[in-house]
Amino acid sequence: MAKIIDGKAVSAAVKEQVKKETERLKSMGITPGLAVVIVGDDPASRTYVNNKKKACELVGFYSEEYALEGTTTQEELIALVKRLNRDDKINGILVQLPLPPQIDDKAVIAAIDPQKDVDAFHSENVGRIMIGEYKFLPCTPAGVMELLASENIDIEGKSCVVIGRSNIVGKPMAMLLLHKNGTVTITHSRTKNLKEVCLGADIIVAAVGIAKFLKADMVKQGAVVIDVGMDRDENGKLCGDVDFEQVEKKASYITPVPGGVGPMTIAMLMKNTLTAAKLANGIE
């Protein structure tokens, strides 16, 4: 049976460290500030935003929330982003995705000051991740790396398979594993012989967005399995991209859903915002 990696415990430790660092900054007259912008009334987005607000309170950040109507125009949203770029109280800007169809999310992300882009979605920050000279990392892949580190799972020389190629998780995840000297294969919906590819993996990160997609017959004995998925099964119950009950019997380590990668995403957002506040004030 696999050892379950407890994302709640690891995220609590990360937030506790951020809280201590924030107290140090406050003693110097600096309070990290995060602005979260939500457009429309998507229930999942609202839950995420509420959780981010609670996390800011917990670690001692200053935070602002901008809840805009679903009819907001792209011009209005970009004008708000530009105003937040100029606001010295705000170190991090997060525009909650997805955005309504009338707004081009790429244009909005491009408008965010790269120094305040705590999601690390701006093309400048994406480029920095490619060459390994980054200030911020996308929160979910960064959270996965933190979970692996928490169990001292060595990546160097290991065969790593990422299932999914999104800009938010799949691609940056592959780069972070590569920076740790993993041998990385990115797979997706068009990959031929996916089962065979996965069976060769020492570490699998499932980020495909299909409930219970990764079955036990796709996982070799003793593999490390990280589940980034947030899906609903046939009974409407929350589950991940991994068939947890079956895969747990073969894996050496596995993350649950909920309580695995999910809590890490917000913890890493707090860490990125702290980093942004330090950079803005020339503090190491």
- Please state the pTM of the whole predicted model: 0.95
Whole-number pLDDT of residue 23: 98
pLDDT computed for residue 167 by the predictor: 93
Classify residue 153 as exposed, middle or buried by CB count within 10 Å of its CB (0-12, 13-18, 19+): middle
Residue in this structure with the two tokens 């957002």, named with its chain if needed = 269
Q: How far apart (Å, rounded) are the C-alpha atoms in residues 74 and 268?
A: 28
**Domains delineated in the chain:** 28-114 (3.40.50.10860), 139-262 (3.40.50.720)
Q: Which of 15, 116, 117, 119 is catalytic?
A: 119
Choose, from 52, 135, 171, 250, the residue flagged as catalytic: 52
Q: What is the pLDDT of residue 137?
A: 94
Query: What pLDDT is stored for residue 176 in this prediction?
Result: 98
**Residue 164 backbone class (left: φ over 0; alpha: ψ -120 to 50; beta: rest):** left
171 sits in which H/E element: helix 170-179
Quote the pLDDT of residue 236.
87
Q: Which backbone phi and psi does 181 adopt, to 5 degrees?
A: 70, 25
17 is known as an active-site residue: no
Active site annotation includes 102: no
Give pLDDT < 50 ranges for the chain.
Answer: none
pLDDT given for residue 194 in this prediction? 97
Check residue 284 and give its pLDDT: 80
Residue 99 CA to residue 94 CA, distance in Å, equals 12
Q: Which residue has the tokens 């309504």?
A: 100
The 10s digit of each residue's pLDDT in 40-57 is 988 888 988 999 999 999
Structure tokens at 113: 């000051």
Catalytic residue of the set 96, 116, 117, 135: 96
Whether 135 is a known active-site residue: answer no
* pLDDT at residue 42, as a whole number: 87
- pLDDT tens digits along 203-239: 999 999 999 999 999 999 999 999 999 999 888 899 9
pLDDT at position 127, please? 97
